[in-house]
């Protein structure tokens, strides 16, 4: 089993990739996050802050979460660690980098930073 350090490096690379490689999705994601419709969950996936969000917002969340799942699985397989661990480590980093005004999930529910 590879070290947690290697997983953290790959998680950091994934986050960098995610923030730069998908311009159309990233722009849409930035918009819905800024509008307070979507936030980062503690499990490494996006969540709907407002469960009554429009269908296109739900579709965007589902699409991005599917892409994240595939990448988490790739990193987990490469490093011989559970996919949940990769997702959790990613969540910690992404939540820590979430800009002020956007929502993150906490143990007590959604919180605006």
Tell me, yes or no, whether 97 lies in a domain. Answer: yes
Q: Which two tokens stand for residue 72?
A: 């988490």
Residue 26 is predicted with a pLDDT of: 56
pLDDT tens profile 95-105: 999 999 999 99
* pLDDT averaged over every residue in the chain: 84
Count of structural domains, the chain = 1
Tell me, yes or no, whether 32 lies in a domain. Answer: yes
Least confident of 10-24, 44-58, 93-107: 10-24
Tell me, yes or no, whether 81 lies in a domain. Answer: yes
Give this prediction's pTM. 0.78
Average pLDDT rounded to a whole number, residues 29-43: 94
Domain that residue 51 falls in: 4-108
Tell me, yes or no, whether 67 lies in a domain. Answer: yes
Residue 104 is predicted with a pLDDT of: 98
């Amino acid at each position: 089993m590879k070290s947690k350090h290697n997983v953290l490096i790959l998680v950091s690379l994934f986050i960098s990739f995610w923030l730069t490689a998908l311009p159309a999705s990233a722009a849409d994601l930035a918009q819905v996050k800024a509008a307070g419709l979507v936030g980062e969950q503690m499990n490494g996936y996006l969540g709907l802050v407002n469960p009554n969000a429009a269908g296109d917002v739900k579709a965007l969340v589902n699409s991005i979460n599917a892409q994240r799942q595939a990448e988490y699985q790739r990193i987990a397989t490469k490093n011989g660690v559970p996919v949940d661990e990769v997702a959790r480590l990613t969540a910690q980093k992404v939540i820590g980098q979430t800009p002020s005004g956007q929502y993150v999930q906490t143990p007590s529910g959604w919180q605006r930073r």
